[in-house]
Structure 1
Amino acid sequence: MKSSKLSLSLALGSAIALSAVAVTSPAEAASKEKCYGVALAGQNDCAAGPGTSCAGTSKTDYQSNAWKLVPAGTCVEMESKTSSTGHGQLNAF
């Protein structure tokens, strides 16, 4: 009997924890933006162009078509050694 109460408590606790994560994730995502040309090789969040599939697949540092999620408003201030402006871009270049 004690075992089933413990299992139920653990399941309920897990459900509450997961719902809290689900509630905060959209707000966190809204405060971030895609920044192209700032990720180091293999550290992009997704979309690294032809020959790559998604996260962690960029082939070179500062790859112009690979993006990383950064706090909103900071992208154009971040360094990019491949960008014509020397900073991250909000679109692939």
Structure 2
Amino acid sequence: MPQYAVKARITGRVQGVAFRAWTRARARSLGLTGWVRNENDNAVSALLQGEREVVRTMLKDLWSGPGAAAVANVQRIETEVDLQIDSFEIRY
């Protein structure tokens, strides 16, 4: 059961570069639950849930993203764990 949750907002060149697919694959490999989605303003948002240190690792990884990405900023805010979510998905 996840103990820690963060909502992240990633800006820069993060749409059209497979950022969502990369995020889903990385989060799943770390055992996180949550989601990732594109925003109308060309940012990407994500909910990351899991062990605190694993979530922190994922937040660091978001700064690099897939090869074609150019991340300008990763904002994050702690939030409540959503126990209804039991996997990591791309939301549309």
What TM-score, normalized to structure 1? 0.30
Higher relative contact order by CA 8 Å / sep ≥ 6: 1 or 2? Answer: 2
Higher strand share: 2
> Higher helix share goes to which structure?
1
Q: Tell me which structure has the larger Cα radius of gyration.
A: 1
